[in-house]
Chain A
Amino acid sequence: MLTKLTGGKIYDPAHGVDGEIRDIYIRDGRIINRPLDEKVTTEIDLRGKIVMAGAIDMHTHIGGGKVNIARTMLPEDHAQDVIARTELMRSGCGHAAPSTLTAGYRYAEMGYTAGFEPAILPINARQAHMEMHDTPIIDKGGYAMLGSDDFLLRMMASNNDQQAINNYVAWTLTHSQAIGIKVVNPGGINAFKFNQRKLDLDERNKFYGVTPREILLRLARAVKELGIPHPLHVHGCNLGVPGNLNTTIDTMEGIEGLPMHMTHIQFHSYGTEGDFKFSSGSAQIAETINKHKNITADVGQILFGQTVTASGDNMRQHAAHPHAHPNKWVCMDIECDAGCGVLPFKYKDQSYVNALQWMIGLETFLMVDDPWRVFLTTDHPNGAPFTSYPHLIKLLMDKTFRNDVLSTLHPEAQKASHLGSLDREYTMYEIAIMTRAGAAKLVGLADRGHLGEGGAADITVYTDDADREKMFSSPDYVFKDGKIVVKDGHLIDVTWGTTHVVKPEYDNSIEKELKPYFDRYHTQKMGNFKISDDEIVDDGRGSLTVQPLHKGGAI
């Protein structure tokens, strides 16, 4: 079986290909160089079409306990968006928190072929993996959440050496089948349990005496030393607090040059200027990102409408609960590991704060110079559901459209932002970097996000259209591992993607300490906590892909 995609205009930033006309050959789900003697079985004419690798969403809440809470709490989200079953697809529902199957179908129909759940609580990892296992077509993976778990804080409080922490991080990553490490409000979720309602970067946890800065440094170092490709994924302190931009800059500068990914940075870029005591800090944030090459960021753009915010950051979610719309919310503690908060939210274009949030996100996109270090997300579903990505791409690629939308927003917010004066328009190549090549590099996917030899044949084909929203919401073809899954914007086949993980090496003696800890404090035994490979691959539908590590070693 040899498939030839003929004459498409290729955007493959991983290989520096910017809109060249080329043919692509696919055999056994992989992209290969042009074979000399083999006969082409299927040829697909892509002349005049735009070809990119399948898009990768490197931060999307598609599985795990908090998404399920959101689903349970929002029957209205389901009732308003019901999808009947077809011969091909199962039924589903949900706009902001869609059911697993629907999420997979919708991603594929937008040309996305991978999505990464950024907050897998190790103790709940099984639930998250089972949900992702039920998300069809796209590849998936997750970042294990550490930083507010008692075991780490104990280790830090008793001043354990870095090697012990590395072992614990690697052990957790391995047994929760994750590809990266995430920190949410470092130490803050734990401090919340000791009745602290805020925790600044250098503020001590009342009980453990550990500061968020120390947690970040320890974990970022562990990630680097273990050779985990994905930098420490950080949801910083003081999310949503006016004036948090200083904390955010401090966080980025204070990481001592270690690789770090700042997630949904829009929510961490607020100043306190102006009559409303709420202003845009995106210029300073973008400047700091531009200056520090070890920092990457995704934006977490908000878009107007009803959605739901689901976060591990129970401290900030608790503080935000008066803004819940509709008025219902959940905040919970999850074993010794962390917590979560879920509250529905409606972003309104005539609200000063929401309008400015929208502008801050776009300003960040436009002012960070290097598209390899900024990523397109809405922090689904926290800023907006992922289905709004094509709209967001249009905002980035079309200045006139952006300014038209801008002119309809809260007038005071318009005055407080210089978004209207930013002329940058993202090019097709830059969009391909942000959503494909850059994202794959960031997550550590060696065989995805590019169209070179040996890459997985995850390919999206679009018809060039001046209306970028229309173009990106309805691809002509989507290939997943060489199979056509979407044709003319509609799903025609349902396949099952793989789960990407990394397997760093570590010293298993850490279990000597962990076993009694689990016995004493957890509701499950250590043996049950571990997710074996079989659990993911056993039914023949799921599979594991172990991605290569970077060179690690002590710093």
Chain B
Amino acid sequence: MSALTFTLKAAPAQRVDCSLLTPDELAEKSVADIAAIELAVGNTVERVDSLFDISGNDVNDIKFSNSCDKLDFVGRNMTSGKITIDGNVGAYLGIFLEGGEIEVNGNTEGYTACEMKSGQIKINGNAGDFLGGVRPGRRNGMTGGVVIVTGDTGARTGDHMRRGMILIEGNAGDYCGSRMISGTIAVLGNVGSHLGYAMKRGTVLLTKAPSQGISANFNDCGSHTLAFLPLLFASFTKLDSQFAKVDSFSRVQRYAGDVGGIGMGEILVKI
């Protein structure tokens, strides 16, 4: 058995809904069946084999090669298996992900890991806006699992995030941790403005102080030695990430906010 590979023939003019190409959806299907699946492309539908060259047959190990940023909803509702994407990918990657693993060797568009429940997403590149966020009008963003981004993230990372971890090796955009309900966001690089805007609870862990300072809506609670941090770093060691190699520390400056709301969120900055 070799990985079931979808090689994009040419970049489509319209967006393609790839939510039917997950291990769950393709289970028990023959390659001929898969080729005949119709995907929504803009306001029309097209067969899988007219968009992709298909090779391999292991539906639990799916690859998209020559991918482009028009491929939306990859890994939607997936519960197990692995999807690997070579190239950029569109919006809503891993939306409602319940298990399994997605790896992207490229950049993602907005709403990556939107309302993700469990599993792991690794992006070897940059992520768009609303990483781990929530669809407009909904109450809970990401509720579990781990997202690793080796590059930068867009604005509103972890918007309405409920649980789980987002680990950013590069820089985070503006409004990182906005409306966050709980969960953990850790950033090795810089963060943009309005960090933790309307944050309720949860933790944003920074290895360096934000260049523009901390928002007035966060109170400086002084420096602390937090015993949970070494445990947190220990949990990183099994991950394929720079975070596995970070020297553990427990001494941080703690800021609590957003006091415009219930103010139970925290920003921890390494000192």
Contacts and interface: CB of A to CB of B under 8 A. Distances in A.
Interface of A: 72-76, 79, 326-328
A75 B137 contact: yes
Nearest to B140: A326
Interface in B24-70: none
Nearest to A328: B139
A290 to B, nearest CB: 45
A73 B139 contact: no
Contacts of B139: 326-328
B251 interface: no
Contact of B135 (A74, A75, A326, A328): A75
B111 to A, nearest CB: 14
Contacts of A73: 137
B238 interface: no
11 contacts: A72-B137, A73-B137, A74-B137, A75-B135, A75-B137, A75-B138, A76-B137, A76-B138, A79-B135, A326-B139, A327-B139
Nearest to A326: B139
A76 B135 CA distance: 9
Contacts of A326: 139
Interface size bucket, B side? under 10
Interface of B: 135-139
A537 B161 CA distance: 50
Contacts of A74: 137
Binding site secondary structure of chain A: helix
Nearest to B136: A75
Contacts of A76: 137-138
- Complex A-B, nearest 10 residue pairs according to Cβ-Cβ distance, in ascending order: A75-B137, A326-B139, A75-B136, A76-B138, A327-B139, A73-B137, A75-B135, A328-B139, A74-B137, A75-B138
Contacts of B138: 75-76
Contacts of A79: 135
Contacts of B136: 75
Contacts of B135: 75, 79
- Among B136, B137, B139, which residue has the most Cβ atoms of chain A within 10 A? B137
B48 to A, nearest CB: 21
B254 to A, nearest CB: 29
Nearest to B135: A75
A67 to B, nearest CB: 16
Nearest to B137: A75
Nearest to A76: B138
A149 to B, nearest CB: 32
A493 to B, nearest CB: 25
A71 to B, nearest CB: 10
A327 B162 CA distance: 15
A160 to B, nearest CB: 45
A49 B135 CA distance: 48
Nearest to A77: B137
Contacts of B137: 72-76
Contacts of A75: 135-138
Nearest to B138: A76
